[in-house]
């Protein structure tokens, strides 16, 4: 499905890849990535390294390619017809686009949480157990229950649902449903967690819970979050990447990005001076 890319109003010069933020070992390393929807190039020569166990935020205006780029990190774009990828996405030094890659296993390692919570019309327990069952992670009921409990605890939801695990997930509030989806993603113990605007539909209290959760989860996971809310990016992330018209303009520590970005385009965006 071709995606309309907004007509450029701003000249984005083709520049050298932005300097990377020095951190620990790169969990994800992207090299010269191009992405096409049919004939439309949505991503241009993206190179970036995402260190292990940090939160990296992707910011940029609508249509800039940040969600498209996020989805290239676990090949979620594969399901869209007529798309094409060039370059490399390395996770722990293995190219996830190399022939023979087990995409199901890839998505187990690189979990994803979407903008709109999407619990299955099943019980709370079964939602979290779903991934464990289809991946045949365990055949023991007690181990399954233990893994579900741990995932719900990791998602800071256990105390709110422990007495009603058999009730429908659809009875939960929006914020709880989103944390349930996070628990579902955590249950299969991913290494990287991709979050596409995970709090955009939530009220401030539910948003705050998700943000606290992200802060706690980074001790164990590498987290990449797409957000339109720049204050949220500033609050939760260690590093921030700014995208514009399919190009990666700047990657920097979040502190630097929001106080003294290197690129004028970044500064213009975060101070709201586009247009």
Partner 1 sequence: MDTHRHLDDELSSLRDRVLLLGGEAEQALERAMYSLSERDSEVARQVLDHDDQVDHLEVEIDRQCIDIIALRQPAARDLRFVISVAKMAPVLERIADHACNIARTAIDLNNEPELKPVLDLGNMAEHALKMLRGALDAFTSSDAISAREIIKSDSEINDLYNHTFHRLIELMVTEPGTATRDARLLFVAKHLERIGDYVTDICELTVYMAEAAFIKHT
- Contact residues: partner 1, CB under 8 A: 230-231, 234, 258-261, 266-267, 270-275
Q: Which is nearer to partner 1, 101 or 262 (CB)?
A: 262
Q: How far is the CB of 29 from partner 1 (least distance, A)?
A: 28
User: Nearest Cα to 59, choosing from 249, 214, 207, 210?
Assistant: 249
Q: Which is nearer to partner 1, 64 or 148 (CB)?
A: 64
Residues 6+ apart with CB under 8 A from 146: none
Q: Which is nearer to partner 1, 198 or 261 (CB)?
A: 261
Q: Which is nearer to partner 1, 154 or 250 (CB)?
A: 250
Q: Which is nearer to partner 1, 19 or 24 (CB)?
A: 19
Q: Which is nearer to partner 1, 35 or 243 (CB)?
A: 243
Q: How far is the CB of 242 from partner 1 (least distance, A)?
A: 11
User: Nearest Cα to 30, choosing from 13, 50, 8?
Assistant: 50
Q: How far is the CB of 139 from partner 1 (least distance, A)?
A: 51
Q: How far is the CB of 261 from partner 1 (least distance, A)?
A: 6
Residues 6+ apart with CB under 8 A from 265: 10, 12, 242, 244, 249, 250
Q: How far is the CB of 36 from partner 1 (least distance, A)?
A: 31
Q: How far is the CB of 259 from partner 1 (least distance, A)?
A: 6
User: For residue 79, with 0-12 CB atoms within 10 Å meaning exposed, 13-18 middle and 19 or more buried, which class applies?
Assistant: exposed
């Amino acid at each position: 499905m071709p995606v309309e890319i907004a007509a450029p109003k701003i000249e984005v010069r083709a520049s050298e890849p932005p300097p990377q933020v020095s951190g620990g070992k790169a969990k994800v390393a992207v090299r010269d990535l191009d992405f096409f929807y049919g004939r439309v190039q949505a991503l241009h020569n993206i190179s970036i390294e995402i260190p292990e166990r940090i939160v990296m935020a992707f910011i940029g205006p609508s249509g800039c390619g940040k969600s498209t780029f996020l989805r290239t990190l676990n090949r979620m774009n594969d399901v869209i017809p007529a798309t094409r990828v060039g370059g490399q996405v390395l996770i722990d030094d293995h190219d996830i686009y190399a022939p023979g890659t087990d995409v199901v296993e890839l998505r187990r390692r690189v979990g994803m949480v979407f903008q709109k919570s999407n619990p299955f019309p099943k019980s709370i327990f079964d939602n979290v157990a779903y991934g464990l069952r289809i991946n045949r992670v365990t055949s023991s009921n007690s181990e399954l229950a233990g893994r579900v409990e741990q995932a719900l605890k990791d998602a800071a939801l256990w105390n709110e649902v422990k007495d009603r695990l058999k009730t429908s997930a659809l009875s939960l509030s929006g914020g709880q449903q989103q944390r349930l989806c996070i628990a579902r993603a955590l249950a299969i113990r991913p290494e990287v967690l991709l979050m596409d605007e995970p709090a955009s539909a939530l009220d401030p209290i539910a948003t705050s819970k998700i943000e606290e959760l992200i802060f706690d989860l980074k001790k164990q996971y590498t987290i990449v979050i797409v957000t339109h809310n720049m204050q949220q990016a500033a609050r939760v992330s260690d590093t921030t990447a700014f995208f514009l018209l399919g190009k990666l303009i700047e990657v920097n520590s979040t502190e630097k990005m929001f106080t003294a970005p290197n690129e004028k385009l970044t500064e213009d965006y975060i101070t709201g001076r586009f247009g």
